[in-house]
Chains A and B, each alone.
Chain A
Amino acid sequence: MAARTTTRLAVGYALAAAFIVAAPRFLDAYWLDVLNSVGLYVLLALSLNLILGDAGLFNMGHAAFYAVGAYTAAILNTRYQIPILWTLPASAVVAAVFAALVARPVVHLRGDYLLVVTIGLGEIVRIALVNDVFGLTGGANGIFGISRPMVFGYKIRRPHEFLYLIWAFVAVTVLLFHRLEQSRFGRALNYLREDPVAAEGSGVNTARYRLLAFALGAAWAGMTGTLYAAKMTIISPESFGFWESVVLFLMVILGGSGSIPGVIVGAVLVVVLPEVFRGFASARMLVFGLVMMVMMVVRPQGLLPFRLLRFKESDVRRAGASS
């Protein structure tokens, strides 16, 4: 059973990769750009999934970490002329430290209280950006003139070039996050989502793991912010509002909280479907709201739900053999 799921997953990823590689041959620039934003949202949704899906922490302010990363990259690039891709580690570290600092006092809060606090944090960050905090963020207009990324001396500027850059990052992320899911860290997060008291009793330092989940998720969102800044060359506070956090939250929940393929499907659907139904521009949000309500009644676990890891016969036998 498990082996079959793994094979199916591998086939799915292979097909998706083939589609992305071949996409510039049959899609126009507009749809390539849609694919680029799908890639960015997949990254963001996966990073939120660490916090919301794996650790079960209701974070509805994820756009704040995204913003911190994007602004870090933009400020380093425009003020200190650091090549944009070289700011990736800086964005990751700044976003992670920021997340750890703001999450430290609130991670112990009960589910929906944490939700509200993170909404508040997200809004405070947005207002701070609009008010040109420390004179660095450029106020409501944001920061412009961010330079294009260079990869091995090759300047990336056209949609299909960004397509490869962004989706390469997605591929690395998916690989790493699958490994993380299987690791001690990933299993500890799942444990504390299912039962924090039992997890604590089994020696999982819940406060520390929650903070780590926040920091790691924020680091990834921060790096995605760098990619976003590089792609847009202009960033402004309105790209990081409450609605952005809600959309990310929905991608995780509707796709299948805690499940990597589920979250990817969620992100793809939430970005692509509104593009397909562009003709019904004003009614599509109405339908979106309705779908959310119906989904929670019909399929609350999401489209491709997460399945708990189970020990198989072969695992037991292998364990017996090695001891």
Chain B
Amino acid sequence: MEQFFQQVTNGLAVGSIYALIALGYTMVYGVLRLINFAHGDLFTYGAYLGMTLLTSFLLHDHLGLALALVVLAVMVMGLVAVIGVILERAAYRPLRESPRLSAVVSALGASIFLQNALMLVYGARYQVYPDVLPQTTVSFLGQQMPVMRLAVVLVSVTIMAALYLFVQKTKVGTAIRAAAIDQGAARLMGIDVNKVVTIVFVIGPALGGGAGLLVGLYYGQISFTMGWIYGMKAFTAAILGGIGNIPGAMVGGLLLGVVEALGAAYLSIAWKDAFAFLVLILILIVRPSGLLGERVAEKV
């Protein structure tokens, strides 16, 4: 029971990080029908920027821990959003009318470029986050767990809820949904689709960058290649929930996190990374539309 509880909560924490990244994939896919392979690297940029800002400004000494983290999060998310917008302008916009494969290759190229740029700046070795957070535990449902784990889940869920409300209730959110359903019709209704794409490339990377910061703070260790595996798992989460579907990405992320944690604990730790891919393949065979999504498979 003890172990089960720890694994589930741990899975929820990891899963909420997957969900945050998955939102970026799912929003971009929803509007552009493009798998943004560089999204995982934007997540890594968030982690590295967070580390640099944390160590160079020592915000927590000046502002107090809570305020420092908020300022840090805003800075990281803002900077990663800027990178995201540049990425879209440079690598994806020129290919908007091209065949899908061209955009996929360009996205891969962008991913390789971003990853190696990071390696040239920081070197190929692991980087360690400064120890700023208290290592306390809290009691939850009669069990002890690290306060950070709870914080990661709460922060992610709050952000996701805010995003959901934004997309459902505001005018801009309506424009995003309209562009996702039918770009041509959206344009006829007076929606500036290019602006919608830019907004999507602000929100997605900002969330991905924020997830990177959370991973840095939570695990303390980051590497320049970590974006790939996180990205693949987040993408799995997005498909699991139904790609293009925002609540789906959240559900998919949390579910995948828990499945992975339980699989690693009770089946085999060595196969941990394979579970996500297995889930991905199974869901695409059995229910390619995802748990909450549209239908995607072609007829044979």
Contacts and interface: CB of A to CB of B under 8 A. Distances in A.
B218 interface: no
B239 A116 contact: yes
B280 A117 contact: yes
A8 interface: no
A296 B102 contact: yes
A293 B296 contact: no
A276 interface: no
B110 interface: yes
A123 B115 CA distance: 20
A106 B91 CA distance: 29
A279 B212 CA distance: 33
Contacts of B102: 296, 300
Given A116-B35, A293-B106, A109 B112 contact: no
A296 to B, nearest CB: 4
Interface stretch (A42-50, A124-132, A314-322): A124-132
B270 interface: yes
Contacts of B239: 113, 116
Interface stretch (B43-51, B125-133, B179-187, B281-289): B281-289
Interface in A29-77: 58
B298 A296 contact: no
Nearest to A284: B116
Interface residues of A, number: 45
A111 B281 CA distance: 15
A269 to B, nearest CB: 15
B270 A108 contact: no
A296 B274 contact: no
B90 interface: yes
A168 B23 CA distance: 50
B35 A112 contact: yes
Given A58-B101, A121-B281, A109 B109 contact: no
Interface string A256-274: 0100000000000000000
B288 A109 contact: yes
A137 interface: no
A58 B281 contact: no
Contacts of B232: 119-120, 123
B150 interface: no
A115 interface: yes
Given A113-B284, A113-B296, A285-B112, A124 B274 contact: yes
A123 B100 CA distance: 23
B116 A286 contact: yes
Contact of B104 (A110, A112, A282, A288): A112
B99 interface: yes
Interface in B169-207: none
Contacts of B298: 108-110, 196
B128 to A, nearest CB: 22
B161 interface: no
B62 interface: no
B164 interface: no
A289 B99 CA distance: 19
B297 A108 contact: yes
Interface in B256-298: 268, 270-271, 273-274, 277-278, 280-281, 284-285, 288, 296-298
A196 B298 CA distance: 10
B281 A296 contact: no
A292 interface: yes
Contacts of A293: 90-91, 106, 109-110, 113
B101 A111 contact: yes
A98 interface: no
Given A131-B270, A282-B119, A293-B113, A123 B105 contact: no
B100 to A, nearest CB: 6
B103 interface: yes
A130 B120 CA distance: 29
Contacts of A297: 94-95, 106
* 8 closest cross-chain pairs (CB), A and B: A292-B109, A289-B113, A289-B112, A120-B277, A108-B300, A293-B109, A296-B106, A286-B116
Interface of B: 35, 90-91, 94-95, 98-106, 108-117, 119-120, 228, 232, 235-236, 239, 268, 270-271, 273-274, 277-278, 280-281, 284-285, 288, 296-300
20 contacts: A106-B281, A108-B298, A109-B284, A109-B296, A115-B104, A116-B35, A116-B235, A117-B284, A120-B278, A121-B281, A123-B274, A131-B270, A246-B108, A283-B116, A285-B112, A286-B113, A286-B117, A289-B116, A293-B106, A296-B105
